[in-house]
Structures are given as C-alpha cells and as structure tokens.
Amino acid sequence: MHRSKIKLLSAFLILTAYLIACTKNDEQKQQQQQDNHAPFANAGNDTTIILPASTAILNASLSTDPDNNIKSYLWTKISGPICNIANANTAQTQVTNLTAGIYLFELKVTDASDLFDKDTMQVNVTNATVNVYVAGSELISGKRYAKYWKNGVAVTLTDGNNPAEAADIAVVNNDIYVAGSENSIGWNNTGWPVPKYWKNGTAVTLPYNGIYAIPSAIAVVNNDVYVAGEENFQSNVRVAKYWKNGVAVNLTNGNFDASAYAIAVVNNDVYVSGVENNSSGKQVAKYWKNGVAFNLTDGNGWAFGSDIVVVNNDVYVAGFEDKSGAVIAKYWKNGVAVNLTNGSNPARATSITIVNNDVYVAGHEVNSSGKGVAKYWKNGVAVNLTDGSTNMNAVDIAVVNNDVYVAGYEFENAKQVAKFWKNGVIVNLADGNNISDAWAVAVQ
C-alpha cells in the first residue's frame, strides 16, 4: 500500500477511536448526571439587625444533597446597600458593615456533577425605635460569661475567670439590673454558684447560708430591688426564696425541694411563682403572695409555675403540667387552669404578659419529628416562631407598642445560639461559633 494511504488510514483509525472514546465519555457523564440528583439550597430564615449592630450571619448549613457530594457554596448580594461578605465561598460566613436598609442575599449550592440549586434570604437592618435588652450568657474559649445584649450589641458583666449566667433583666429609669450567678471557683476546680445581681454592670452579691444559691428573676419597684431564686442548704434541700434589697426571705421551710422562678411586686404585695415537691416526690406548681402559698396543681403529676404577672388583682401564672406522660402548656388565672395545648405533643409555657386584656404566653411544643418549635400564644391561639427543622425554645416575652418580642435560643450544628424574635422575625445575638443562651427580654 502507498505510504500516504497508510498514514491516511492510520489517522482515520485514530480519529475513529477518539470519537468512540468521546462518545463513551459523554455517555458515561450523561449517565452519571442522570444517576445524580441536584442539591437543595437553604439560605436560612430572614433576619433583622438593629443598629448599632452591623453584622449578620449567612448560614447554608441546612442545605442538603441526596448524594452527599456538595462541591461548593456561593453567596452573592442581589440587592441592598454596600456591605462586605467575609468569605462568599463557605457554608457559613459573616456580613459586615451593614447600614440601614433591606439586603437580599442569594445562595448557590453546587454538587460534584455541577448540578446546582439556589435560595435567597433577606436581612432587614433598622434603627432602634425602642431599646431591646436580652440577658443570657456565652461560652467563649472555655469560659462562660454573664452578659446582656442591648439592640444586639453585647455587654459583658463578668471577666470569665468563673462560670457565670445572667438569668433575668429589668430596665428602670435607664438603669439596667441583671440577676444571675457566678461560681466561686473557676472552671478547673469545684465551685458553686454565688447569687448576685448587677446594676449598670456593678455586681452586688446576695447573702446565702447554704451550699449555693441561684437567682432566677429580678424586679425593681420604687428603688427597691427584689430578686427571686433558690438556695441549696447543707442538707441538700432547695429552698425557694427572694431577697429584698439584699435581705433574704424564705418561702419554704426546707422539708422538701422548692424553687422560685419569677417575681412581681404590685401595691407593695410580693408575688412569687415556682414549685415545691410534696411528700410523694411530685412537683407542685404554686405561687406565694407575701409568703403565703397557693397551690395551682393537685400534686398527682409534675408541674411548673414558670412566670407570674398580676393585673387588676388578677394573678396569672404560666407553666406546664405532666400527668400520665402528657406534658401540657398552660397558664392559671386566679388558680383556674387554661390549657394551651392538648397533650398530644409535649409542650411548655415559660413566660406570660398581659397587654390591653390580651394574654401572651411564650414557650415551645415538640413536633412529630421530636423538634422543639418556639412559639407564643395570644389569647390561646398559637403563633409559631420556627418551622420545626431545628430544636428551638422561647423562654421570655414582652409586648410593647403592639410589637411582640420573644427571647430564646436555637440548637444550630450542636451548639445553642441566643436570639430573639420581633414579630416573628429572628434577630441573632451570637454568631453560632460559641454556645450561648438568652433567658430574658426587656424593652424600653
């Protein structure tokens, strides 16, 4: 055969083999794409930032892929004022230098086969028309700090040398009172909580005689400071009590475990809600008026009196009761129970407030997936604050100018994150890198 024909035939065979290989590769790639499923992008819930706070968290951690092969994330600002995305190519990142306005961010999630999905989330940055104070704590580098946030900006109350917690907050005439505790010895040694409160950041230690004492609530009336909580005596029995200007008043005699969770002072009458065990070991929800106890439950089940408010001589106590395994969120008005849930799912009511005869109660209810759904009830009608995809809890509620503020926390990536909701919109108080919690909210 002629050499040129041989070369031509060889080239033809090589080209044919190449085309066959390409066809096979294309078919294999097409088959892989057919077998692969696109990811599902989840940019998270819309959120609100209240100036002077100017940082938000973008979190794509709830994005999923049926084939578990997410390759990349991409955050893009679609609209809004100038800002800075710290790292647009990570699942979770910070947005800084936010100014007043509405931002819209797009998330693009791409898998190993270049299939992708998109989702958006909105950040609303507003100026504070009122001041929102939230008390809680944050664990940073192994140290738990008591703190509160004013409009999203953290104010630390302790130096971190000892574990500390802020449990409640009251704001009166621009003075900020926070009740909580701080351990007597640091993290690496045995220590017990020491009761105290802070006025404008200055600590006041409350007297106690037992092993430890833990405040749960604070109220300030006519310059008198009332703090409610519990004290563990040397006999290892918890005693419900309150302090008025540092002077302790015991509510129980120490025969059975008891705790005080909330306090209200009206017309010089002191009301405290809490619990006390009975002789059968069951926990009875109750309240005390000027030291006189009123039982709210019959002692056949487990119950809590979590919060108390008094309006027009009517006494409202929020809590829950567990009878035969059905945990029901409820409140009592003058001792008469009002059920908020039917017992089909465990639920708890943790806080109550009355505004213009409307009854607002905050708490949570466990859904069919076993997740706690943060919610509040207005006159018995439930308003869900979360979608039930993660565990969340609402622990305190305040209503000002028809706006509903609820403090609580969410479990994100195995970490508890402090936050509050304003009219159902989340305001994050921490970035999720540390464990944090929010226990109380005050609005002025």
pLDDT number for residue 24:
54
Residues 361 and 246 in one domain: yes
Mean pLDDT of 391-400: 95
Please give the single-letter amino acid code of residue 174: N
Note the pLDDT tens digit of each residue in 314-363: 999 999 999 888 999 999 999 999 999 999 999 999 999 999 999 999 99
Residue 46, pLDDT above cutoff 70 = yes
Answer whether residue 75 shows pLDDT above 50.
yes
Same domain, 116 and 198: no
**Six-digit token pair at 172?**
């009166």
- Residue 336 to residues 318, 330, 357, 439: CA-CA distances in angstroms? 11, 10, 17, 27
Domain boundary among 91, 126, 161: 126
Distances (CA, A) of 190 to 8, 183, 186: 88, 9, 8
Amino acid 32: pLDDT: 52
258 and 224 housed in the same domain? yes
Same domain, 134 and 95: no
Residues 144 and 119 in one domain: no
Return the higher-pLDDT residue of 343 and 1: 343
pLDDT at 16: 52
Mark which of 126, 152, 172 sits at the end of a domain.
126
Tell me what pLDDT residue 187 has: 47
| Residue at 41 is within a domain | no
H helical segments located in 293-444: none
According to the model, what pLDDT value does residue 312 have? 94
Is residue 221 included in any domain, yes or no? yes
Other residues' Cβ atoms within 10 Å of the Cβ of residue 244: 16
* Structure token digits, residue 45: 């819930």
Q: Are residues 145 and 1 in the same domain?
A: no
115 falls within a domain: yes
Look up residue 428 and give its amino acid: N
- Name which of 308, 302, 222 is nearest 260 in CA terms: 308
**Domain count of the chain?**
3
pLDDT reported for residue 176: 98
User: Does residue 390 sit within a domain?
Assistant: yes
Instruction: Mark whether 4 and 59 lie in a shared domain.
Output: no
Reply yes or no: is the peptide bond before residue 66 cis, omega within 30 of 0: no
The answer on 170 and 95 residing in a single domain is: no
pLDDT of residue 236: 87
- The CATH number that applies at residue 56 is 2.60.40.10
**Residue 142 shares a structural domain with residue 248:** yes
pLDDT at residue 392 greater than cutoff 60: yes
Q: Would you state the pLDDT for residue 390? A: 87
Question: Which residue has 């465990």 as its token pair?
Answer: 346
pLDDT at 82: 93
Coil, strand, or helix at residue 337? strand
> pLDDT, tens digit, for every residue of 8-38?
444 444 445 554 555 555 555 555 556 789 9
Residue 30 is predicted with a pLDDT of 55
Q: What is the pTM of this model?
A: 0.79
Residue 375 placed within a domain: yes
pLDDT at 383 over 60: yes
pLDDT digits (tens, 9 = 90+) for 251-297: 999 999 999 999 999 999 999 999 999 999 999 999 999 999 999 99
Reply yes or no on whether the pLDDT at 2 is more than 80: no
Q: Which pLDDT score, from 0 to 100, does residue 36 have?
A: 84
How far is the C-alpha of 81 from the C-alpha of 16, rounded, in Å?
57
Quick one: DSSP state of residue 40? Answer: B
Q: Are residues 384 and 268 in the same domain?
A: yes
185 pLDDT higher than 80: no
pLDDT at 233 over 90: no
- Whether 387 and 355 share a structural domain: yes
Same-domain status, 29 and 58: no
Structural domain of residue 22, as residue ranges? 1-35
Instruction: Tell me what the mean pLDDT of segment 48-73 comes to.
Output: 91
pLDDT at residue 375 tops 70: yes
Question: What is the pLDDT, as a whole number, of residue 8?
Answer: 41
Which of the four pLDDT bands, split at 50, 70 and 90, describes residue 7?
very low
User: What mean pLDDT comes out for the span 420-427?
Assistant: 93
Long-range contacts, 122-125 (Cβ 8 Å, 24+): 122/46, 122/47, 123/46, 123/47, 123/48, 123/49, 123/56, 123/80, 123/95, 123/98, 124/46, 124/47, 124/48, 124/49, 124/425, 125/48, 125/49, 125/50, 125/51, 125/54, 125/98, 125/99, 125/100, 125/101
pLDDT digits (tens, 9 = 90+) for 121-138: 999 998 878 899 999 999
Mean pLDDT value across the chain: 90
pLDDT value of position 358: 97
For the chain, how many residues are written? 444
- Which CATH number does the domain housing residue 210 bear? 2.120.10.70
Indicate whether 40 belongs to any domain: no
**CB-based contacts of 173: which residues, under 8 Å, 6+ apart?**
none
